[in-house]
Amino acid sequence: MSDKKKTNLPGGLKGFKFKIYWIYALIFVFFIGLNFMGTEVTKPTNWQEFNQNMLQTQKVEKVVIVNKEKAYIHIKKEFLYEEQFKEVSKRTFGDALNLGPHYYFEIGSVETFSNNLKEAQSEFDNEEKISPFYETRKDVFGDILGWILPLAFFIFIWLFIMKRMSGGAGGGGGGQIFNIGKTKGKLVDKADIKVSFKDVAGLEGAKEEITEIVDFLKSPEKYTKLGGKIPKGALLVGPPGTGKTLLAKAVAGEAKVPFFSLSGSDFVEMFVGVGASRVRDLFKQAKEKSPAIIFIDEIDAIGRARGKNAMTGSNDERENTLNQLLTEMDGFGTNSGVIVMAATNRADVLDKALTRAGRFDRQIFVDLPDLLERKAIFEVHLKPIKLSESMDINFLARQTPGFSGADIANVCNEAALIAARKSKKKVEKQDFLDAVDRIIGGLEKKSKIISPNEKKTIAYHEAGHATVSWMLEYASPLVKVTIVPRGKSLGAAWYLPEERQLTTTEQMLDEICAAMGGRAAEEVFFGRISTGALSDLEKVTKMAYAMVSMYGLSKEVGNISYYDSSGQQSGFTKPYSEERAQLIDKEVSRILEEEYTRAKEVLTSNKDKVEKLGAELLEKEVIFKADLETIFGARKWKSYEEEQLLKLDDEKAESEKKAKKEVVVENKENTTEVKEE
């Protein structure tokens, strides 16, 4: 019972924490109270009022001159009960009589005041005259506050700055200056990790490679008893948003081990040696909780190759941190149960010593998802969203080529917001299309003023792109084309590129030709060209230069590549002669002109259909793949991914049909058994 009462007390001791700042506050309040307690009520006045109302009426007991600056007047006790002295008759606190001083005023100079006082009392008897007293006083409390308050202010500022420098209250150090060398890694306990491989859609290859690490953390003796050495580190490499961090969390969730998560920039501080100290503390804590996983996100912040800026000396602290990391990774035993995982999208800039065997033994590439993986990612992100019954996930996967996992999550969220904005009860196909359009192209600008001639030019430009891409085998087929301004573009076309691992010369030439279709249409139908093809020209020029100088796809230049994968090549010097540069430029011009001529030929041979498509664009402003099939007929070629999707759908439908049959047979058998009984 006693414990219960103690707990229920208001402001009870449970969870009570004493803070040293409370003592400082109490001392401050005490001094303030000491200053005000017992002080007398003293009102300001002037010489005229003092002379007329107090001195001449002989109500003044004495006058005290303090520090030759102020005159303090004491009123006789018997007159304090009068109405004019009511305000000064009592003390500040309580009802006790105020014995003075009651009034004060500035005297100017002592000599002048003395003369005035003598003159004012010239008609008084000698026993009625008063003479001033002189005192020198020091304001002890004011003097103390005068040097204590500035000192306290500077101490507070210093503590505040030191606390911010050490990263606030993060990283196990409590945010104090003496704990600045503590790691800022966030420990996620095995009970708090809810992510597993089931939550990671796609990334099948990466998951296979990393399963070995999970298996070791679950049962390390399986490997160590045979004398095997487990990889000390795994480096996840891939574009942003592909799920590198999520994959690392899934590893920790599968293995059921503590997970230290931090960023590469968390090691870097303005103080020398802090980064190395934090690395040591991180590995110390991980060993204490082994088996454990250390995950360093964006490791390129501290793992860049050393010696690049040796002349400036600006990288000393970062290099010290890297050196300590290298030492720790090579220093702990193979059976300590600590595995380091790291993620970066800049693997090319990492130090060679970091990626060698014995440190980051495994480099796991996490690429952008292909068609089938995008379908799996959509299935994960669409679970919490209320979809319409007609929603086709295959369609969504086909509409998002080159999208990362984060981009797909953004599409799903944006589609839900668009549907909610339109007050829909379910998210429909059109909402997803609008979401993709908004993410890729930006917001629609229907209010933008465009003249009829400009609008017609834009319509035929986009119709040219659509026609050429539809007629060429290796060009990306059209998905949607619009002449509604979006972002900075006046018109836009969405294509479905085939996801290739290898690209042939014919494929690249077809893509260049399709990109030139817009300008070609302007020349064929209007006899003039415009600046609207700027982005197309930029794209095809880069592709043509890549064909000639990088991939060796030009017969004139030959099987030569001037591509530098190491990134060491300076941009100011070229690895070829001036004659070679002229040849490359000549080849690029030839390729572009040939493909431009081919695009004009395709448009001229289908002139009637292009005009029909352009007119439909002007009328509807947005047309889809189905509209092109109506005008040009079905496209002859299908991509391999589409065929795989259709195959998977057929297999899924077949398995569902088989499962239904099994259920029906089982129900019949159960019914027969009941009848026999």
Total Cβ atoms within 10 A of residue 436:
21
Total Cβ atoms within 10 A of residue 336:
16
Q: Which two tokens stand for residue 568?
A: 């060491």
CA 537/CA 543 separation, integer angstroms: 10
Helix (H) or strand (E) holding 114: helix 110-120
Identify whether the C-beta of residue 609 lies closer than 8 Å to the C-beta of residue 631: yes
- Which amino acid type is present at position 239? P
Count of CA atoms in the C-beta half-sphere (13 A) of 175: 9
CA-based nearest residue to 518, from 466, 482, 556, 465:
465
Candidate list 317, 462, 522, 641, residue with the active-site label: 462
Identify whether the C-beta of residue 359 lies closer than 8 Å to the C-beta of residue 353: yes
Q: Bridge-partner residues for 480, per DSSP?
A: 494, 624
Q: Give the ranges where 240-356 is alpha helix by DSSP (H).
A: 244-255, 274-288, 316-331, 352-355
| Triad 218, 220, 223: Cα angle to 5° | 130
Identify whether the C-beta of residue 240 lies closer than 8 Å to the C-beta of residue 345: yes
Identify whether the C-beta of residue 668 lies closer than 8 Å to the C-beta of residue 653: no
Quote the strand ranges of 306-418, DSSP E: 338-344, 362-365
For 413-472, the DSSP string reads HHHHHHHHHTT-SSB-HHHHHHHHHHHHH--B-TT----HHHHHHHHHHHHHHHHHHHHS
Q: Which two tokens stand for residue 613?
A: 């498509």
CA 401/CA 408 separation, integer angstroms: 10
Count Cβ neighbours within 10 Å for each residue of 256-280 and write b for 16 or more, e otherwise: ebbbbbbbbebbebeeeebbbbbbb
- Which amino acid type is present at position 435? A
- Our answer to whether residue 522 is catalytic in this structure is no
Q: Which two tokens stand for residue 309?
A: 């800026």
Identify the three-state secondary structure at position 328: helix
Count Cβ neighbours within 10 Å for each residue of 454-474 and write b for 16 or more, e otherwise: ebbbbbbbbbbbbbbbbbbeb
Any idea which residues carry the catalytic annotation?
462
